Structure 1
Amino acid sequence: MRSYFERWFQALWFEGHHRWAYFFLLPLSGLYGFFSSRCSRTSVDTLPVPVVVVGNLTVGGTGKTPCTLALTAALRELGWHPGIISRGYGGYQRVPAAVLPASDPAQLGDEPVLMAGRNLAPVWVGRRRVQVAQALLRAHPEVDVLLSDDGLQHRALPRQVECVVVDGARGWGNGALLPAGPLRESLSRLATVDAVVVNCASETPPMSLFSGMAGSVMSLESSSWISLQDPNQTLPRDHFYGQSCLVLAGIGHPERFFGQLERWGIVVERRPFPDHHPYRREDLPAHLDKPVLMTEKDAIKWRRLGLTQGWYLPVDAHLEPALIQRVDTLLRTKDSHG
């Protein structure tokens, strides 16, 4: 049922379908905008280190987690000692907790476990990000900058830098606030952020996505498939060329993944699932007669279910040097966002 409603709203927001529903829902969008503007007046706490928030204005996946990891790696190379905080969406953990590569994604969230597995920085989760940040800093006093994976709308969290990531293919959708559109905040919010990062395969994304702000292009790169059960076993990216494969994706925009594999010559049997889906072994046929391919985020959960025929595709974000330099400069010179 959840998957049906997600597809229905995606069609409304990004494909121009269900126009009658758009006009019916517009008054609710007005109410959403009114109450969200009141929430924006929440008082801001203070932290002893600067914070970079990597967020988005739209519902669904845009590439925030790969962007967060890429910025973390870049800041390490510049001499910073980063830590990562997250709400842990999809998990049930409420109080601050450390995330390890072997942690349970059902408890701490699939994306935090994925980030912890990269071993770039300590990762902590919890419902209240300021408390999470404080707990991380107590456990890791060497950390001198925090990156928040999502949290643009978490007003209590202080931040020196705000990066908004947008899907270059879907953009801002129909431009309306929830629920008539996919926007968590009005596009006027872009006037207050520090960078708009377009997740786009093309080097020339539509300029309308930047809305006059300092913009940057981010590309996702991958080279090898990794075995679900043995991470030391890899296959070249083109190994499954011409083969029929069962491809599952429980991410914000499954069609991006499916389309990418089809461009690589793979015959894709689609199995889309809702974002952060709590997989069960029954979600796939008991007897599999073809390879099963998935994203790294899906693999975090399927690895614990004993699937032996699965392969996942890690992706790394490539950021423009100008964006990295801008973030570094702002961290060293800018006061916190009010």
Structure 2
Amino acid sequence: MREPAFWQPPSSWLSRLLMPLAAIYGEIAGARMARKGIVVGIPVICVGNYHVGGAGKTPTTQALVALLRELGEAPVVLSRGYGGSLRGPVKVDVSRHQAAEVGDEPLMLARDVTVVISRDRVAGAALARSTGASVIVMDDGFQNPAVAKDASIIVIDGDRGLGNGRGLPAGPMRAPLDLQVARTDALVIVGTGRAADGVARQVAAKGAPVFRAQLAPDTASLKALHGRRVLAFAGIGDPVRFFRTLRGAGVDVAAEQAFADHHPYTADDIAALLAQAKREALTLVTTEKDVVKLRGLPDTEGIVPFAVTLAFDDAAALRMFVMERLNIARGRASNRSPDGA
């Protein structure tokens, strides 16, 4: 799915026309979020979005995994496996699974951390715990009430913000903003843009921390692209952010090709990209998430993956937040009686 233009401001007649449907969707989504989730026995930290589309959730998940390991934890990522055919629960095996089976984001993450996919999140949490997890990092699922969360960290792109701020299908919001803010334990704003300042003030007003973070390009990726003009392509939630990150890192982006989020690449797609790159003397570059979808396709060896990491402006404050939430979660568990009361 590619995000429709009317989801971004200014408001359009089509967005206004869809507002009655958005009101109904919001009521249903809000009631669903209010349900009590199952306590799975180990801390659960959810990394989510208020809206559909990309914001930086995957690099935030990677950064959180790294932080948890520094704290001596054994994190396991739990994902629904969006875009994959397997229902799970199943542990992702990078040597055996394809993106079409488990989803592109889980397959990418599984190169560095144990990942479990499951449409049934409670069953997925049970499998994650059986692998030796001391904490579950839930990749998405903020609006899903199945599993009780000990911390919900919401990610927003600082340039994109919340679009027109309206609910589906009139806008990109997954549920009414006030209901989502009420369940937010921390907010991460990616980039230097100010489009998320309004919601940041709402989150801060309820006493939750707001963290700023920047995408930092990998040194090896920059070296591979030094002095080259590139054709950048991406099938992610926000391809423009990827193109902007490349240019911000000094990469000479001569051409762009945006595909829909989770786009399943075909041999014809690659042949067309290669033909354009050859015709215009360009180097092909794409995201790490897209690279995992290229496995098994011909003539992809020369495509450069552009790796990024998320660097927090106040890493110490994030570390303190995570430690506090883990301590609270384990304190609750120790005070809970054997029968679950």
TM-score, with normalisation over the residues of structure 2? 0.86
Q: Find the counterpart in structure 2 of residue 124 from structure 1.
A: 116
Q: Which of 11, 14, 20 is the aligned partner of 1:27?
A: 20
How far apart are residue 185 of structure 1 and its match? 1.5
Q: Find the counterpart in structure 2 of residue 71 from structure 1.
A: 64
- Name the amino acid aligned to 1:274: A
What SS does the corresponding residue of 1:62 show, helix, strand or coil?
coil
How far apart are residue 251 of structure 1 and its match? 0.6
Map of 1:196-211 to 2, 5 A cutoff?
A: 196-201=187-192, 207-210=197-200, 211=202
Matched, 1:95 2:88: yes
Structure 1 distance, partners of 2:107, 2:129, is 19
Contact 1:71 1:324 in 2 (8 A): no
Structure 1 ranges of 4+ moved more than 6 A: none
- Name the amino acid aligned to 1:175: G
How far apart are residue 206 of structure 1 and its match? 5.2
Map of 1:1-338 to 2, 5 A cutoff?
A: 2=1, 6-7=2-3, 9=4, 11-16=5-10, 19-102=12-95, 103-118=97-112, 121-138=113-130, 140-141=131-132, 143-188=133-178, 189-201=180-192, 207-210=197-200, 211-213=202-204, 214-224=209-219, 236=223, 239-241=226-228, 243=229, 245-263=230-248, 264-284=250-270, 285=272, 287=275, 288-289=277-278, 290-306=282-298, 307-319=300-312, 320-334=315-329, 335=332
Change (3 A) 1:22 1:328: same
The runs of 5 or more residues in structure 1 that have no matched partner are: 227-234
Contact 1:262 1:268 in 2 (8 A): no
Structure 2 distance, partners of 1:92, 1:73, is 29
Contact 2:83 2:262 in 1 (8 A): yes
Aligned pair count? 314
Q: Find the counterpart in structure 1 of residue 337 from structure 2.
A: none
TM-score, with normalisation over the residues of structure 1? 0.87
- Name the amino acid aligned to 2:242: F
Contact 1:261 1:268 in 2 (8 A): no
The runs of 5 or more residues in structure 2 that have no matched partner are: 334-341
Structure 2 distance, partners of 1:40, 1:209, is 19
How far apart are residue 45 of structure 1 and its match? 1.3
Contact 2:40 2:126 in 1 (8 A): yes
How far apart are residue 223 of structure 1 and its match? 2.4
What SS does the corresponding residue of 2:255 show, helix, strand or coil?
strand
Indicate the RMSD between aligned Cα atoms, in angstroms: 2.0
The C-alpha deviation readout for 1:298-325, integer Å capped at 9, x for no partner, is 1111133131220011111113320221
The C-alpha deviation readout for 1:115-144, integer Å capped at 9, x for no partner, is 1112xx311101011111101222x13x21
Structure 2 distance, partners of 1:159, 1:41, is 12
What SS does the corresponding residue of 1:16 show, helix, strand or coil?
coil
Change (3 A) 1:41 1:329: closer
Structure 1 distance, partners of 2:40, 2:103, is 24
Contact 2:57 2:155 in 1 (8 A): yes
What SS does the corresponding residue of 2:152 show, helix, strand or coil?
strand
